[in-house]
Amino acid sequence: MTMKQSKLKSTGKATLIYENKSFELPTFVGSEGPAVVDIRKLYGDADIFTYDPGFTSTASCESDITFIDGEKGILLYRGYPIDQLAEHSTFLEVCYLLLHGELPNKEQFAKFDHSITMHTMVHEQLASFFRGFRRDAHPMAVMCGVVGALSAFYHDSTDINDPRQREVASHRLIAKMPTIAAMAYKYTVGQPFVYPLNSLGYTENFLRMTFAVPAEEYKVNPILAKALDTIFILHADHEQNASTSTVRLSGSSGANPFACIAAGIACLWGPAHGGANEAALKMLEQIGSVDKIPEFIKRAKDPNDDFRLMGFGHRVYKNYDPRAKAMQVQAHAVLEETGHQNDPLLKVAMELERIALQDEYFVSKKLYPNIDFYSGITLRALGFPTSMFTALFALARTVGWIAQWGEMIEDPAQKIGRPRQIYTGAQRRDYVPLGKR
């Protein structure tokens, strides 16, 4: 198996003084971003753990894939700035870049495009899985179940130690997510599943599988297809976010890639993470009009009110999420093309952003719009129901998850993830028989 070579550069040592003893810990830097203190030997040497709930100051791995500078609002996929990729690239080209580390030449892209295209159909028996769900099942519940079930159909690409099987599983997942997401939507609206059409591009194919009906010709709108393709690029990867860390942790036990991606889908569903696009649109609908904004801003600032401005704030970005800017451009393009340029929710969103960016509370806590703030308005104008928003996020993020999973498998430093804890429960005590309690 081709193993990843570490590129960490030593910068000397950090010294920890604890109980009048000093412990030297090696320090390293990568190519960008903060240095790290290597604490792998700390527990063995000093018999103490580090404590970092939420991992706000903890690097879980060494990665070449995506770099984020939260203070400067920078996002690079394999070194390429997200705004340049959004403007000049396509989602499938970005998939190749994230998987292989370089932009493909014509021949490499043609081969990759062909392989993905040849994997777009799902096993016909998988269609019966959908019939087990209620029609009103949330598409993310369906995606979790069906993607996890793929490991029951593709035994020939679950050996994680075989690079060829890892490549086939990666291509299968990238290719089949649009088909499965479209089927999840079709099932909830009671329309027949639409098979992939290999003459169409990746995102055009997805739009047709989602919105075409057998009763009439479906013509893909190229402007909308391009906008959705760009939205997929913006969602493709984001270093060690919660769902990617879930995929890596699942993969560290040797679980097959389909099960790991299903775990990532489950984690992404949460409203604090990928579910925020659905929650942000619901929040805008709840606000309803520009004159109601001050009341909701007040609630968002009230520590006793659990209301938060969904689509605002980020664990890493303490500046404007560069994806939110690009999303806003797509929002205007789609609303224009679909005749929703006067969508009242767009006015609410832009006024809410304007007020929040001037408000001391949000400025002091460095809360800016994130990628989810404008995506809901855009996806709704594209015709997707709110319940499909996070499923679209999962579709796009699958390439990031699987690229990070592959990098983890090839990293000799990786072992099964097993965090420790600080125990604060009852100390040892003897059992008390019922009659004596």
Tell me the catalytic residues: 314, 372
Tokens 């760009």 label which residue? 230
| Contacting residue, 126, 174, 255, 309, with ligand SDX by CB under 6 A | 309
In this structure, the chain runs to a length of 437
- Distance separating alpha carbons of residues 58 and 56, to the nearest angstrom: 6
Nearer to ligand SDX, 171 or 238 (CB): 238
Nearer to ligand SDX, 276 or 287 (CB): 276
**Under rule CB under 6 A, residue 282 binds ligand SDX:** no
Closest approach of ligand SDX to the CB of residue 219, in Å = 32
- Distance separating alpha carbons of residues 280 and 286, to the nearest angstrom: 10
Q: Which of residues 50-89 bind ligand SDX (CB under 6 A)?
A: none
Q: Which of residues 185-244 bind ligand SDX (CB under 6 A)?
A: 238, 241
Closest approach of ligand SDX to the CB of residue 297, in Å = 9
Q: Is residue 85 within 8 Å of 94, Cβ to Cβ?
A: yes
For the chain, the 3-state helix, strand and coil shares in percent, each to the nearest 5, are 55, 10, 40
SS3 call for 374? helix
Closest approach of ligand SDX to the CB of residue 306, in Å = 9
**Under rule CB under 6 A, residue 183 binds ligand SDX:** no
**Under rule CB under 6 A, residue 300 binds ligand SDX:** yes
- Distance separating alpha carbons of residues 275 and 34, to the nearest angstrom: 29
SS3 call for 223? helix
Closest approach of ligand SDX to the CB of residue 338, in Å = 24
Nearer to ligand SDX, 176 or 238 (CB): 238
**Under rule CB under 6 A, residue 248 binds ligand SDX:** no
Q: Is residue 34 within 8 Å of 14, Cβ to Cβ?
A: no
Nearer to ligand SDX, 9 or 365 (CB): 365
| Contacting residue, 26, 74, 221, 315, with ligand SDX by CB under 6 A | 315
Question: Quick one: how far is CA 152 from the chain centroid?
Answer: 24
Count residues binding ligand SDX (CB under 6 A).
Answer: 21
**Under rule CB under 6 A, residue 313 binds ligand SDX:** yes
Closest approach of ligand SDX to the CB of residue 241, in Å = 3
Closest C-alpha to 398, from 299, 291, 260, 276:
260
77: part of which helix (H) or strand (E)? strand 74-77
- Residue 159's contacts (CB-CB under 8 Å, 6 or more residues apart) are 165
Closest approach of ligand SDX to the CB of residue 367, in Å = 5
Edge-first strand listing for the sheet containing 36-37: 9-18, 21-29, 36-37
**Under rule CB under 6 A, residue 272 binds ligand SDX:** yes
CA angle 161-419-54, nearest 5°?
110
Q: Which of residues 354-373 bind ligand SDX (CB under 6 A)?
A: 365, 367, 370-372
Nearer to ligand SDX, 186 or 314 (CB): 314
Could you list the residues that contact ligand SDX (CB under 6 A)?
238, 241, 272-274, 276, 300, 308-316, 365, 367, 370-372
